[in-house]
């Protein structure tokens, strides 16, 4: 089996799981793969949309029905929970639609929404709309980014293209990790 065939078979599953856990890097990478012709654009969009939708809904339901679990209590005890809860009180619809775009709050916000009085059906509908907008934006960015790379460097072999996507994702993840560590140290120093 060729590398392209393997990616074609497991790519949508990777995008589904990855977009729910890691988000933007996976969605952009999926868009770049669609541009390259490794996966059809509709499959990438559907997998990224579905993963983001399921992640948001699962976290909302966890906040709603599992709020007594230790991990939910730990999350709701953090200072960020209070800030998100304040935003929720002022703009619940905007927050439900836009939480995927709020760096560092992507997992926390649906959990907070689940612990609130926001109706489950209302969140589910807003979650569908928000996931659709988010998937369209980031898969579209990846597709356009793929076009730009092709114009700069020509048509790269598939293995180089995929390696570049993986390297970019790793660099992004390391950057996020470093940023979070620095912010934790700053918050400890302030206190």
**Tens of pLDDT along 119-173?**
999 999 999 999 999 999 999 999 988 777 677 666 667 677 677 777 877 887 8
pLDDT of residue 79 exceeding 80, the answer is no
Domain encompassing residue 108: 3-190
pLDDT of residue 83 exceeding 80, the answer is no
Of 116, 109, 134, which Cα lies nearest the Cα of 45? 134
Q: What is the mean pLDDT of residues 21-30?
A: 84
More confident residue, 6 or 78: 78
Q: Share the mean pLDDT of the chain.
A: 82
The domain tally of the chain equals 1
Of 102, 163, 166, which Cα lies nearest the Cα of 112? 102
Q: Which residue has the tokens 């060729």?
A: 2
Of 3, 8, 19, 9, which Cα lies nearest the Cα of 135? 19
More confident residue, 6 or 121: 121
Say if CB 52 and CB 128 are below 8 A apart. Answer: no
pLDDT of residue 53 exceeding 90, the answer is yes
């Amino acid at each position: 089996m060729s590398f392209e065939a393997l990616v074609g078979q497991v790519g949508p599953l990777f995008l589904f799981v990855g977009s729910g856990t890691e988000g933007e890097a996976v969605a952009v990478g999926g868009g770049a793969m669609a541009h390259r012709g490794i996966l059809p654009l509709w499959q990438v969009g559907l997998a990224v949309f579905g993963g983001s939708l399921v992640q948001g809904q699962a976290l909302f339901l966890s906040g709603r029905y599992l709020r007594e679990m230790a991990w939910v209590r730990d999350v709701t005890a953090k200072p960020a929970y209070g800030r998100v809860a304040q935003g929720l009180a002022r703009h619940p619809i905007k927050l439900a639609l836009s939480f995927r775009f709020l760096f560092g709050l992507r997992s926390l916000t649906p959990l907070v929404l689940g612990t609130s009085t926001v109706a489950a059906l209302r969140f589910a509908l807003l979650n569908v709309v928000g996931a659709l907008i988010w998937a369209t934006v980031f898969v579209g960015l990846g597709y356009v980014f793929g076009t730009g790379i092709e114009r700069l460097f020509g048509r790269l072999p598939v293995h180089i293209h995929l390696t570049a996507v993986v390297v970019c994702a790793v660099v992004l993840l390391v950057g996020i990790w470093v940023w979070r560590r620095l912010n934790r140290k700053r918050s400890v120093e302030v206190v």
